[in-house]
Structure 1
């Protein structure tokens, strides 16, 4: 009999140990992350040499401990099986607030303290207290600004997009994009009405919604989504599913949008014709649709373009920007998408990598495919948008054959 107990490569044990440690760490990340989020600002604001009066230190520490215990409980009650909106609002707001505190505790706790030390400002206690007030002031300003940004009607972003294959008859076609409205625990019915009123001022030929309408079922969020029925377009109003629909009965959202007068483009297309020229407007289900288990739900570009004349330009609606690789392989001219997950997560202070239609120095995808990624119209989770402004987008399609201006 051959002994196979020693047949593993000698280095496998060495490689397996770090890997297993990483896996164990990742399993514990949901427990570690909240502790870090709350303990770091608690330390920087209260225990890093400030020497506050004892009642201040004890009260502040108790508040951070209460947040550490209360936030996960509120998130579970709000986003778990109970789906209690009040708990979701509390949990999401606490998450947004503590993230801002954490971020600026780290940034100012290092940079400002180092600057004060190098410049010789005060003693250790003075510098610690300056950092505390700087962090609190910065967080308060950013949270107030972020909340106002999240709740306001998005500004309209206007741009011309030249499609080389677009016929002259379609030059000037006005396409309005809204996406990621995320109707949710905070009632935004009035906001929804104002968004639709803004869209109606843009005199669109085509209005598109590229998914993530809401968090919750269609029955539960119907009042917030109902104003979408008032949106006006001279040719069509079209919609595709986003990944969040598949967390809450996606077919219910497809049926409701159809009832509200929007045409769900579930792996199919329609034709927009004007001046003797034709534009294929296609849509695909979200890329997560197939894993949802819903019969017939999947992202199927070939099905969406089946029967379309390959000589006609194609405008594709696909919720996730990463679908652009398949769009480019399929010869799509322009893909419209919602933001990647981090694109809406205010208050995260980041620069959103938005892939807008190419300008000099920005390449196409494949030989001709352009991608426009919106920053999103609403917000998801924490009710803050810091460094991530929302938008309603007006894209005016341009043909290279259009007559030049006098």
Structure 2
């Protein structure tokens, strides 16, 4: 009898194990990335600012190093208590703030530190110690200004970004339709109930026909963040208020958020659509669950575009709500006219947008995909985690839909 399923190499070792070895080593290395990243974030600026020729007095060097070590130990600890099983808001605020602080300090220690040191050397300014200390104070000054400005940007009511979007299949009766997009409000550990109310007041000044929220309402359960989300019930639209889930809903009882939005008068477009009609013309407004929904294990939750369009007239233009921009491949394949998304925050803290771009086709703004499909990616209305926005301002978006057949008045 010939045996199968146990292929061995010349030295008697299973061939399958030999083939799997490189992958196993890679997997083992990947496990260390979450450990290595915080070490690099804290160790690199510590070395650049304190130990590259500054020759600080010993007490200064020791105290500065101790602060970096305290941050290295304290940040993961606070993040774990804040965002882990305990869900302690105070710890989350500390951990998130430390993360934003060290990301900015790391970025500018590396970039400004290297460039400024080179410029000072070329200009022959002072000796090595003088140049090193100038670099330290310059980096600390720039980081302080960016963090103060970034905090103010994160906590302010977003500016309204207005743009006209022409949809070739849009009927003349719908020309001038006003669509307001808010997304990624991320109500969380910092109580932003007053901010939420002011955002909704701003939305109400825009006289929208349709108001859309494309997910990531909050970090935490609907019961826990209800007070911050409650002002969403005051939003006005002449036709409809519609909502789709984001990935963060699936970290914290997504069905609870769907139920709360329904209670607040918003229509959760969970793989379904409605018709927006005006002037004898119609627009299909469809929505899908976030692409992470199916892996959440929550019954009935998944991104199902065919289901969202089921029963819709294929000759009508379609406006699709999908939380993540990367859903655009499926949207383009179905001939969607316009997809509205969020998720990216525009990177939130520069230069994080380069990492976002690895995972998403766009970071912000209007882009074309295929022959027909447009994608608008919002930078988000709120912020996630670190309470800072650096070179990535938040927004409330007013999109005025235009028909190539010309305006008919609004």
By the TM > 0.5 criterion, same fold?
yes
Gaps of 5+ in 1: 359-363
1:271 aligned residue (259, 271, 275)? 275
Q: 2:398 is matched with which residue?
A: 394
Correspondence 1:315-354 to 2 at 5 A: 315-340=319-344, 343-346=346-349, 348=351, 350=353, 353-354=362-363
1:224 aligned residue (216, 219, 228)? 228
C-alpha distance in structure 2 between counterparts of 1:104 and 1:219, whole Å: 40
1:74 aligned residue (75, 78, 82)? 78
Query: CA 1:21–1:122 in 2, change beyond 3 Å: closer, same or farther?
Result: farther
C-alpha distance in structure 2 between counterparts of 1:308 and 1:20, whole Å: 48
Q: Does 1:128 align with 2:132?
A: yes
C-alpha distance in structure 2 between counterparts of 1:291 and 1:243, whole Å: 11
| Deviation for aligned residue 1:348 | 4.1
Q: Does 1:285 align with 2:289?
A: yes
Q: Deviations over 1:28-68 (max 9, x none)?
A: 11111111111111111111111111221111111111111
Query: CA 1:273–1:117 in 2, change beyond 3 Å: closer, same or farther?
Result: same
Bigger mean CA offset, 24-33 vs 302-311: 24-33
Q: 1:55 is matched with which residue?
A: 59
1:349–1:387: 8 Å Cα contact kept in structure 2? no
1:356 aligned residue (336, 360, 365)? 365
Q: 2:388 is matched with which residue?
A: 384
C-alpha distance in structure 1 between counterparts of 2:43 and 2:365, whole Å: 39
Q: 1:6 is matched with which residue?
A: 9
| Deviation for aligned residue 1:7 | 6.5
Q: Does 1:113 align with 2:122?
A: no
For the aligned residue pairs, the C-alpha RMSD in angstroms reads: 2.2
- Give the 3-state SS of the residue equivalent to 2:82 in structure 1: helix
Q: Does 1:369 align with 2:373?
A: yes
Q: Does 1:248 align with 2:239?
A: no
Q: 1:145 is matched with which residue?
A: 149
Bigger mean CA offset, 323-332 vs 256-265: 323-332
- Give the 3-state SS of the residue equivalent to 2:32 in structure 1: helix
- Provide the aligned length of Structure 1 versus Structure 2: 398
C-alpha distance in structure 2 between counterparts of 1:174 and 1:339, whole Å: 22
C-alpha distance in structure 2 between counterparts of 1:113 and 1:227, whole Å: 50
C-alpha distance in structure 1 between counterparts of 2:20 and 2:126, whole Å: 51
C-alpha distance in structure 2 between counterparts of 1:222 and 1:403, whole Å: 41
Query: CA 1:349–1:302 in 2, change beyond 3 Å: closer, same or farther?
Result: closer
Q: 2:47 is matched with which residue?
A: 43
| Deviation for aligned residue 1:19 | 4.9
| Deviation for aligned residue 1:404 | 9.0
2:53–2:128: 8 Å Cα contact kept in structure 1? yes
C-alpha distance in structure 1 between counterparts of 2:254 and 2:334, whole Å: 26
Query: CA 1:250–1:38 in 2, change beyond 3 Å: closer, same or farther?
Result: same
1:143–1:347: 8 Å Cα contact kept in structure 2? no
1:182–1:379: 8 Å Cα contact kept in structure 2? yes
Gaps of 5+ in 2: none
Tell me the TM-score normalized by structure 1: 0.93
2:172–2:406: 8 Å Cα contact kept in structure 1? yes
Q: Does 1:214 align with 2:201?
A: no
1:192 aligned residue (192, 196, 213)? 196
Bigger mean CA offset, 75-84 vs 58-67: 58-67
C-alpha distance in structure 1 between counterparts of 2:277 and 2:114, whole Å: 59
Tell me the TM-score normalized by structure 2: 0.92
2:180–2:212: 8 Å Cα contact kept in structure 1? yes
| Deviation for aligned residue 1:5 | 2.9
| Deviation for aligned residue 1:20 | 4.5
- Give the 3-state SS of the residue equivalent to 1:211 in structure 2: coil
| Deviation for aligned residue 1:202 | 0.3
